[in-house]
Structure 1
Amino acid sequence: MARFFTPGWVLRHVLMVVVTAGCFGMAYWQWTRALEGSMLSWGYSFQWPLFGLAAVALWVREVQMTLRESRGESVQSEEPPLVSPSIVETPCRSAPPRSSACSSRRLIP
């Protein structure tokens, strides 16, 4: 557990607490505005807590990945990476070069 008290991790812990508290503070502020009659604030009052929970989820994921690395487990996904389609150059025969009607690139699935 000492690995989580390095300067980098302490900064992550503090940042997570500050961001989460800030998000919940903003949610409270929007909630009070919504009760005063601001209809737009109703949406924000539910949105801000989700941002705070996303910060907590990211922090939990980082901790889990660090623990897996320390145990020697792979943190890489077992699934193959997604491959983007290849782009190939094709000459234009029906239109002059630099014509907007001529597409010099096409995607191959």
Structure 2
Amino acid sequence: MLKTVLLVDPDWITRTLMKYHLHRAGYTVYEADSCTLAAQLNEQYQPEFIILDEAITIEHSNALNCRDHQNYILLTDLPQPRTTGRLSLAKPITGHNLISQLQAYQA
């Protein structure tokens, strides 16, 4: 089963670390540092999951059709992520926690 993720985060270090852990777990990762690039990659590759940093505003996330995308995960700097009806993960996140949460979300 092909597992694809679009990782959207303006921080290069965060994207690099998360991409490393996702690759090790067998995911194909497309990464974007902006909403514009993310929208293009989302349309082109139609990933199974979108991991979206909260720094991408609601207006920008609408361009990604995140509300229509059933599998999106919000990354937040808040110690207790907001309840949004979607999976929210607090940063910093460990590789093990990221993968286990993503796998649980798939089940």
Shorter-chain TM range is under 0.3
Higher relative contact order by CA 8 Å / sep ≥ 6: 1 or 2?
2
Q: Which has the higher strand share?
A: 2
- Give the alignment's TM-score, normalised by structure 1: 0.20
Q: Which has the larger radius of gyration?
A: 1
